[in-house]
Amino acid sequence: MARIILITGASSGIGFEAAKQLAQAGNIVYGAARRLDRLQELTNYGVTPVALDVTDAAAAQTVVDDIIQKENRLDVLINNAGYGSYGAVEEVSIDEAKRQFDVNLFGLAQMTKLVLPQMRKQHSGTIINTSSMAGKVWTPFGAWYHATKFAVEGFSNSMRLELEPFGIHVVLIEPGAIKTSWGMIAADHLSESSAQGPYAKAAQRTANNLRRLYSSSFITAASKIGRVMAKAATAKRPRIHYLTGFGAKPSVFFSRIVPNQIFDAVIKRVM
């Protein structure tokens, strides 16, 4: 049976690929992003584009209500909207830190709260939250981004226990380095926020390394992570965690088996 699926952050990268693959498989997919023009390509694959800023509670309510009214159910919510803003803690404004939490955590939570009454009524549903290996390991100049992803991990794991009695699955997608615009955006934020002052030299070196990594050919294609996300969305009993993509499993495994001081030393050298 075709599933009714809403995916945020569908205009590019993993979200775009997941929406495309899910629609091609015969599911009814609503792809959401802030700009409708960036969703037009998805209409070629049968995805219905939806304009949505996940931090706008009223708009989010309207989108969810409209889908449920039209389809009479909602089977899967994929919370994929998010971004990475890098910079030294001392130099990143609290306003920017709050914005990152608004998009990466509170927007995700708002979307989840809106779909849960319908999923409880159905006694079925799947919530998929895009986290990252950054929700399990840490790097310099990524404190606020890591904080949002560590929060998504804790939020999702706790919510899973609450929703299990209602037949609702909660899934975490935890990508490693993926060939999307994320790395370049993070590097640009880092260069802008910490280009001057005491962190300038180390910040520029880290930004250069990010650009080098995310322009390389050996990191994982977004289509592969999209395929993992699509598999989780359609599985009868999806896994709880999908740790996947370049560097994800070895990085997390290494962080668990060595003392933090050793992990810190390796990360500082690599970054």
Active site residues: 11, 131, 145, 149
Give the length of the chain: 271
Q: Specify whether the CB–CB gap between 111 and 154 falls below 8 A.
A: no
CA nearest neighbour of 177 among 257, 77, 271, 78:
271
Q: What is the CA angle 245-155-75, rounded to 5?
A: 75
Q: Specify whether the CB–CB gap between 163 and 127 falls below 8 A.
A: yes
